[in-house]
Every structure is written in C-alpha cells, then in structure tokens.
Structure 1
C-alpha cells in the first residue's frame, strides 16, 4: 500500500494522499488545494473522500474548497458538528477507496472528535494509522487546546480521554503498523515531537514517553507538564474549521492588489492596517517603512504571524520581495489571516525610490556585543523560548520570549542601552521591529544570535545542570 506524505516544513504539517483503482482520498489537506487536485489528475483518479482527523487549531484546512472543486465527501469522526455538509462517521465504520479500506477509530483526547484512520491494503492487511494529533513521533497531541473553545473540557479531562484512546485503540494494534502523524518537530500542537515524520508503532511503544506503562494520573501529569500557552490564533482557526470560511481563490483575488507607494501610504492611513514586511532580517534592518513589523517569509512565517498578530481579522498591508507576494498571501491564509488590503508594488525599493521616510535597525556583531557588555550599564535581552534560555544563556541576560513580548513591554528599558538576540537572528528581528513600532530606539540587535555568540566570543555562559549530576 502506497501512502504519500505531503509535508510542509514551515508549519510542520503533514497531509496524506492515497489512490487505488482510480479513487483517491486526501487526509488533513492544507488550504491551497490545487496540489492535491493535480496529484489526483496525475493518477487519472477522482478524489472520493477528504478525511479530517479533527478540527485543526494551527491551520485552516482545505476540505471545503476540495469538496467544492472535486465533489469529494468530507468525513469527520464521531462528535464532530460542523456547520456545513459532512459525513460524521461512526466508530469502526469502514470506507472503500478502490481496493483499500479506511477504518475509523475514534480517539478523543486532543479534541473530543479526534479520530485515527486505520489503513487496510488490498489484501486486507492493516498497513498503518493516520493519527492526526492523537499520536506524534515521540509525543502526543496536547490536551489543552479544546478547552479554549469549550470551557467545560478541562485539560485534565481531555488528557484522561487521551490516555484511554491510546491504550484501548492504538496500543493494541500490531507493532509493524506505520504511524503517519499530522505534525513534526516545530509544531505548537505538541511539546516533544521528533524530527522524523513516520515510524513503526512498535518503536513508538518502546520510545514514546506517553506510551510507557503508567497510571492515568501519572499520564495526565506527564502530558500536561511543560506546556506553554498556545498561540492566540489557535481558537480562531478552530472556529473557521468548524463554521466554514471563504474560498482561498476569493481571498487571493481580493488581497492581491498591487499598490503604488502613494496608494500604499493612503491605504495605511485610511484603514489602520498593520504593515507586515516579509523580507529577510538582513534586508529589513538596512531600511524599512516606519511602523512596519518584520516576519520573514523564509522561516516559520505563518506560526509567527499567528503568535504576534492576535486578531486574524486584522487588516494587513504587505511589503514583500517582488515575486513573493502570492506566496506570502497564501501562507497568511493558511492560518486564517484573510484580510490583507493589498501589497506594495515593487516592494521596499519602490518606497525608497519615492523618497518617502525610512527607518533602520542597528545590528551588531557578537564581538561588538562583547565590547558593549564591558559597560556596566549595558543590558542583554534574550527573546528565545524559556526552555532554550534555561538550557544555556549569557550570564546576567534577561529572558523575555518573543511570544510574550506584547505582555512584557514594560520590562524593556527606555533609559538604558540594551541588545536583543535569539538563536540565529530571525526572532530577534521580529522583536526589534515591534520595539521600533512601539517607540524604542535605544537598542541593538545581535547578528547570528546565541549560536554565534557562543562560538565567536568569550562571554560567560550559564548552562543548566541536571539535578541528578549535582554532588
């Protein structure tokens, strides 16, 4: 049985495609559906079903556009209650795709409608499981997201359901089954995912902490331990996936307006839109439109947009490298940001050539940081995640994770010079652009971040020491 994983690294997402005898099925598709249609056309196949493992929080699924364009039937597992036409399957119900069978295994826990799909080949042999966010490689789905949509679903209740689902539905299955999860490392839907995107169930039974022998109480404690707050856009994406959304084609048509510098400036003044610059940090720091925010397209763009822009209905004006505008608009819409007003025709260069006001950010080398820190009044602010900071950091540095910057602006000094850094420079430039927009001008950003600081300076580094090694 051939299962094709279609992996999108920037949001650590895996969709799946299978085909047999001219019939095809797609599992958990992204919002831009043409690649799936093209794949089926290559096989001269008709997409018969679009299977959803649950109502996703980290992206807007493409099931509605696939249904509209191909006539495919949308399938959810038990407990799902969408506001559009879909088949709500029963536990253990089977679907036929050519010579293949798809068996529904209701596995609540990540959400109450979470479902695993058991793949059965043409010889009636069980091949693998498409697990959605129930089981990842090295981890399981976090059980605290559904409570953001339904208050009565506490994370403890959901974790208890997940314990039962794993032990009653997943772990009794054969060890040689292939596990096909919805996400890999980098997704905010779990906390300890492997970089590998498939594995055997048998190996996961040996290595995945959540599948080891423990009581339900121990499992709940282990699964909930160390969870960071989910990105603010997650509940909004869940509601789009439940209630429905506008076709991506219509969104791109409306948002794809090329605006001259004068039109762009007028639109900014009239709409109050957020100015989003998607160029690389190196280009942004040399010159940018005042009050614009930098979130580079060549990075974890969509998740950081979701983390830093709280409202998915926020009007956006786009500044992008010419030729990348459609990609940026598509990636915004993947996570539900459908209200882009237009983009700057010709990019930042057109703005600069029109003699309009520009701003810049001072970026320094790690060696310059080392010299600056010799000044007693100079401060370092590390915007990496708390876990990264706890593992190792510059001695005396203050940790304000980028995802929490809006809640802790008062912690950034205005009467003292300071430097910003992350691991490599992507996140610290986002932070720098936000601080510039909010009126800070007394800081520098460190090129190459902590990775370069460690190798190019002799600054003292504080490293975490495991308590078991202390004497």
Structure 2
C-alpha cells in the first residue's frame, strides 16, 4: 500500500492526471516466462535500447530499435508513435531504469517491464533471434546496380540537399509512416542516414510492419562520402 501511495504522489506532482495514474502500469523486471507470454499478445512490441550494432547482430522478433545511448527522446515518437502502445523493454541491466524514466517522462505509461538479465537471458534459453541484413558502404556500387534495388536516404531534407548519393531517394525518417506504404516487396531497399542510428530505427520499423527486403548501410552517409567510386551530388 505504501508503494502505491508513493507512486501516486510521484505521478501527481509530475503532471499526470488521476485518470492517467489509474492506467499506469508500474514497470518491473520480468522473468523469461512472463516476458515471452506477454510477447505472444499482438498488443505488445519490444523496444530494444541496446546499440545499433548489437541490435543488428540479433534481436527478438517484433522489436523496434531505439538505442538509449543515442538521441532516444528525439526519435521516440517515431519509433513508438502511439503512447498507448503496450511495451516490453530490452536494455542492459545498468541502463534499464534510465530507459524506464525516459519513457515515463515522455508519457509512455503502458510499459509492462523489462526482461531481467537482458538479451542474455533470451539467448541462454536457446530462443531465436532475428538479424538485420547489412552492407558496407563500399559494397553499394555493386549491389545497387542490379534490377529492383533502391537506396533510401532517411536523413532530413536539408541534410540530403547538402550532399547525397546520386541514386538515393530522400525518405526522411520523420515521414516513414507515409512513404513506407509505397514500398514494394519485389524490391530490395538499402537504407542509410548520417551514421547508422536513424537507419536502424527505420529498418526495424519496416521489418516490424512486414517489409521483406530491407538492408542497413553500415556507417551511413559518413562512410559513403569516403568512397571515391560512389557519386555524390548536392542541390
């Protein structure tokens, strides 16, 4: 009872209404059985807050990438546009409480909890992981010359105008819900941003919503710029 009262007053003084407070799910460390059972429900997604490299190497199905060591708050509303979305969190144990605090501050009150022991718990139990297909920027010259292949630059329009790969389309991450509907599964899409953070968010969202052939370009535009065989133009 004491804990409930404390939580209520914390919420009250942080600007949360009484109605909202009643709906709040207090996040907890979840054992594997509870986490996996929740994941079976279509109402839950997994918010994976590890690094882009770790996410690419292996993540739980239905996961969206949003690394806590990057601009987490900036892209939270794109990664999880619905604040009523039920969320399960994957985080390094020493960063889990920080992630939960950031979510609470931004009004995401439907976080059930985080997997105790992080991704290692999932791996040690022999559970399957999905991976993100990736290519080096140096390989783009070869891979984009084929049929049904397209480069998507998810940086902001002003970044794109300052310099971009000649064949790349500018599809800003902030507008992903609109342009993603036009993607065709017969095509393979090579996605990049400036350095890799935003492109990993984009690829994870596209993967979550059923896109079949999306590939992350490692190192993003920073790596593309250094390759003399790739043609760059500005507007």
Q: How does 1:257-276 map to 2 (within 5 A)?
A: 257-270=28-41, 272-276=43-47
The equivalent residue for 1:167 is: none
Q: Equivalences for 1:20-35 in 2 at 5 Å? A: none
Q: Residues 397 and 336 of structure 1: is their aligned pair in 2 closer, same or farther, counting only changes over 3 Å?
A: same
How far apart, CA to CA, are the structure 1 residues paired with 2:130 and 2:41?
Answer: 21
Q: Would the aligned equivalents of 2:84 and 2:108 in 1 still touch at CA under 8 Å?
A: yes
Q: CA deviation at 1:373?
A: 2.3
Q: What is the match of residue 363 of structure 1?
A: 134
Other-structure match for 2:191: 420
CA distance in 1, matches of 2:95, 2:149: 39
Matched, 1:254 2:26: yes
Give the TM-score normalised by structure 1.
0.45
Tell me if 1:389 matches 2:135.
no
C-alpha distance in structure 1 between counterparts of 2:151 and 2:12, whole Å:
47
Aligned pairs for 1:206-217 (under 5 A) are none
Give the Cα separation in 2 of the matches to 1:245 and 1:286: 41
SS at match of 2:175: helix
Cα deviation per residue 1:319-367 (whole Å; 9 max; x = unaligned)? Answer: 1112211000011112111210011111112112212221101111111
Q: Distance in 2 between matches of 1:303 and 1:437?
A: 20
**Aligned partners of 1:403, 1:456: CA distance in 2, in Å?**
27
**What CA RMSD, in Å, does the superposition of the two structures yield over aligned residues?**
2.4
Query: Does the aligned pair in 1 maintain the 2:45–2:88 contact within 8 Å?
Result: yes
CA distance in 2, matches of 1:364, 1:413: 20
Gaps of 5+ in 1: 1-61, 67-239, 465-471
**1:350 corresponding residue in structure 2:** 121
Contact 1:294 / 1:433 at 8 angstroms: preserved in 2? yes
Bigger helix fraction:
2
1:274 and 1:292 in contact (8 A); partners too:
yes
Q: Is the 8 A contact 2:30 2:115 kept in 1?
A: yes
- Do 2:43 and 2:85's aligned partners in 1 also have CA atoms closer than 8 Å? no
Give the count of matched residue pairs.
Answer: 225
Structure 2 contact 79–201 (Cα < 8 Å) conserved: no
State the shift of 1:457 in Å.
Answer: 4.1
CA distance in 1, matches of 2:44, 2:194: 30
Q: 1:65 aligns with which of 10, 13, 32?
A: 13
Partner of 2:84: 313
